[in-house]
Amino acid sequence: MQQENETMTQLILGNLPTIVGVIGMFIIASLYFMDPGWSFAVTLRNSVTLSLPWPTAIVSVLLIRRHVRNIIKKESTLPYDTIVVGSAVLMILLGFTGGIADATYKTLYANINIIGTMAVISAISISIFSPMIRIYRAKTWTMALLIGLSILAFMTYSPIGQMIHPAIPQAGDFVQIYISGASDSAFWISTYIGAVALVTRMILLKEKMRPS
């Protein structure tokens, strides 16, 4: 009996992150089926995520430490490291002195954020074309089908398709509404079934939140 108790204690302590996760998921999932419930779920979410600044701070310090080390060692990435550390220290100091509502902090953050977002969106736009061109060298039938659908979508949502023939945008809309729509639904349904299966495995302690 003593052996069984020890085993159970070890089982619980050894799987504590998973058990806490399962209980958290159970509470949130239960609140979905209650009225009122969603506001409580959000409160629970906030109470958990508000603790996130601590791991965020720890990981940020670890990253800054790496760049400081690169500066000390005068690595080839020195200008990049200097900018990262300098901007991080500046933003942290501004945040501590004036808070995130401080005008200078907000202006700097907004500008950097806008520049970064613009760069990424531009990169996405450019990058989307590139695989479409490279894809012509694709060797599988699946990729060939995707090329055809990509061209059809391009012609549907640009004036070119309509100019060539009105049936082209109609065909594109048909694919978008029926084929893509059904595929999207099937994608999510299978994902959600997979998620329920995952939760089942977690309850049985077959999927863990710590390495075993």
Partner 1 sequence: MSFKIVRLDILLVFFASFVTLLISSFVLKGVKLRQIPTVEASLEAVRVSTEKGTPLFFDTGWTGANFWGHSSGLTTLAFVPSTLELLKVISKEAGSLGVRIITGTTNAVYAMMSQDYMEAGFGLSGHPERFNLDDINFYPDNTGLVMSGVEKIHRFNIGAAVMVGGHNQTSNIVLYEALATTGAMLVAGEIWPNDNSMAALCADYLSFAEENIAIGAYLSEDPVPKAILAGEDIIKAFLIGVITIGGVLFYLGVI
> To the nearest whole angstrom, how small is the minimum distance from the Cβ of residue 76 to partner 1?
9
Q: How far is the CB of 77 from partner 1 (least distance, A)?
A: 8
Residues 85-104 contacting partner 1, CB under 8 A: none
> Distance from CA of residue 141 to its chain's centroid?
30
Question: What is the contact mask toward partner 1 in residues 5 to 44, using x (rule: CB under 8 A)?
Answer: --------------------x---x--xxxxxxx---x--
Q: Tell me if 195 contacts partner 1 by CB under 8 A.
A: yes
List the interface residues with partner 1, window 118-157 (CB under 8 A).
119-121, 123-124, 126-128, 130-132, 134-135, 142-143, 146, 150
CA angle 197, 198, 203 (to 5 degrees): 95
Buried b (16+ CB within 10 A) or exposed e, 8-46: eeeeeeebeebbebbeeeeebeebeeeeeeeeebeeeee
Which residue from 39, 63, 21 is spatially nearest to 199, judged by alpha carbons? 21
Cα-based torsion angle of the residue sequence 161, 163, 166, 167 in order, rounded to the nearest 10 degrees: -40
Q: Are 109 and 94 in contact (CB under 8 A)?
A: no
Instruction: Give the total of residues touching partner 1 (CB under 8 A).
Output: 69
Residues in contact with partner 1 by CB under 8 A are 25, 29, 32-38, 42, 45, 48-49, 52, 55-56, 58-60, 62-63, 66, 77, 80, 113, 116-117, 119-121, 123-124, 126-128, 130-132, 134-135, 142-143, 146, 150, 183-184, 187-202, 204, 206-211
